[in-house]
Amino acid sequence: MKKIIILAQKSFCKSFRSRVFFVFFLFAIMLIFLSILLSLLTFTEEIKIIKDVGLAVISIFSSLIAIFLSAEAVVGEIEKKTIYILLSKPTDKKSFLFGSFLGIIWTVGIAILINGGTLIFLIYLKQSSVDPGILLALLFMELEVLVITSIGIMFSSLSSSALTSTFLCLFLYLLGHLNPQLIALKKVVQSQITKGFLTLVSVVIPNLELFNIREMVVEGKLINLIYTGKIAFYSLIYSGICLIIAYLLFEKREF
């Protein structure tokens, strides 16, 4: 466990200093402030616009940071030949893999906290109060990041290039947000083979729309705690399976 924590700290420092992190992070901050200008151009409620745009921006950019960092976590080290240095020390592949995973989770978590704090500050300036649902929405984003990062680590353990693993992770991320449409399509098609295929795809592909509670938060609706627990359990199980697969792939890999 100590090895994993040390490697997680190294992964965190590396991820925090990366250009990808700073570009997406600063761009997210800019768009959150831009949401104030957007609210002035509409006839709807300003707070709702700020909440909606702000939460959407944080969700998208935290996911993109997780995708780009995790997709090169393993294969990037192999391409740079630094994997030999890391594994030449008293470090096993399992510690390296899970340390990289935790480091990225910490990095993206800090980005979510800072961006979320900025959004909360802007909302507080407008209405002198903050909806607790915002905090829950940020938690759901971090749970989504758990799933996305585990997928990125899995593809990074499998792929031969960082570009390939990034593309695969991004593709699965987009499909994950289309999962409800796949489930709806299953009810319409007549062919049992097609239904079986869609069922399999909808199970294998993560349903990332489960983590999207932005609309409920904007409308001020209460989030069921039981639902929150189910989503947390789902994210832990799915990410756990992906990490196990990643470990099995990485264990067999020779470089």
pLDDT higher at 210 or 126: 210
Give the type of residue at 34.
Answer: L
**Residue 188 or residue 235, greater confidence:** 235
- This prediction has a pTM of 0.86
CA 222, 226, 228, 230 torsion-angle sign = negative
What digits encode the pLDDT tens for the residues 153-177? Answer: 999 888 878 888 889 999 999 988 8
pLDDT above 90 coverage of the chain, percent: 21
Q: Where are the alpha helices (DSSP H) in the chain?
A: 2-17, 19-40, 46-71, 75-79, 83-88, 93-127, 133-158, 162-177, 179-188, 192-204, 214-218, 225-252
- Which residue would you say has higher pLDDT here, 180 or 186? 180
CA 113 distance to own-chain centroid:
14
Average pLDDT over residues 187-198: 74
What integer is the mean pLDDT of 206-235?
88
More confident residue, 120 or 40: 120
Q: pLDDT of 86-113, one tens digit each?
A: 666 666 778 888 888 998 998 899 889 8
What's the pLDDT at 137?
A: 92
* DSSP label of 1: -
The pLDDT value given to residue 12: 62
Q: Structural domain boundaries of the chain?
A: 2-252
Whether the Cβ atoms of residue 32 and residue 119 lie closer than 8 Å to each other: yes
Q: What is the DSSP letter of 223?
A: P
CA–CA–CA angle 68, 71, 74 (5° rounding): 130
Residue, of 119 and 42, whose pLDDT is higher: 119
> Is residue 237 very low, low, confident or very high in pLDDT (cuts 50, 70, 90)?
very high
The pLDDT of 17-23, averaged and rounded, is: 70
